[in-house]
């Protein structure tokens, strides 16, 4: 997707949402009362992912921040719980100390529910990743649409990073995304989910040529 990018800008996978950019967006379009709460989520996610590096060599946290940026900049969604959940969508998988109870205490029961629904059992995934992913997709089919919005926003970000060697088997990642997650979104009447599904299909077509 970066073949026609502005040469003055870094490649897509080297860009992310800074806390200053997040704060500016929230003051402009979000709920001013909840700014500090969203910034707290940003800092929690940054702390949880601080030592993680993705296969493309970039900090893992940048993915979480870009997922929130997609929600704001492309879906024009500024719901506080949705943004917090986008920032924190991987923390239960990646932290030995952050629990669903911790999320509920700090950010409320709905955020805790959304992040929990987005969390895979990584131990089981190592043994049988395909079965876990299929079960995860079916779980999201029954979840709130916010869960699916964040899932697809995260998948869209990953699709945009495939040209930077993010995934060891990008074809499998694309196929699983198109077969398991995109149809759920397309089966809803949610315009934001339809946008994400279309964007993911476009990225897949671009990558596959």
Q: Which residues are catalytic?
A: 93-94
Of 169, 177, 195, 94, nearest in space to 136 by CA: 177
In the chain the first and final C-alpha atoms are separated, in Å, by: 11
Report the alpha-carbon distance of residue 178 to residue 7 in Å, rounded.
Answer: 31
- In sequence order, what are the residues at sequence separation of 6 or more whose Cβ sits closer than 8 angstroms to the Cβ of residue 177? 155, 159, 200, 204
Eight-class DSSP state of 32: G
Dihedral sign computed on CA atoms, order 113, 118, 122, 123: positive
Tokens matching residue 108: 């409320």
């Amino acid at each position: 997707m970066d073949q026609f990018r502005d040469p003055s800008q870094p490649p897509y996978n080297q860009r992310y949402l800074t806390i200053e950019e997040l704060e500016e967006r929230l003051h402009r379009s979000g709920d001013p009362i909840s700014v500090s709460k969203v910034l707290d989520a940003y800092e929690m996610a940054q702390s949880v992912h601080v030592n993680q590096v993705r296969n493309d060599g970039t900090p893992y946290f940048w993915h979480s921040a870009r997922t929130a940026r997609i929600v704001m900049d492309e879906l024009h969604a500024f719901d506080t719980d949705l943004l917090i959940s986008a920032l924190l969508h991987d923390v239960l998988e990646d932290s030995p100390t952050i629990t669903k109870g911790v999320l509920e205490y700090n950010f409320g029961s709905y955020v805790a529910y959304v992040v929990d629904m987005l969390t895979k059992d990584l131990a089981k995934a190592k043994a049988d990743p395909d079965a876990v992913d299929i079960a995860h997709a079916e779980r999201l089919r029954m979840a709130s649409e916010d869960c699916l919005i964040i899932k697809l926003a995260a998948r869209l970000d990953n699709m945009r990073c495939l040209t930077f060697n993010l995934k060891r088997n990008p074809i499998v990642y694309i196929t699983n995304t198109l077969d398991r997650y995109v149809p759920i979104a397309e089966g809803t009447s949610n315009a934001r989910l339809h946008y994400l599904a279309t964007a993911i299909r476009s990225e897949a077509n671009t990558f596959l040529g």
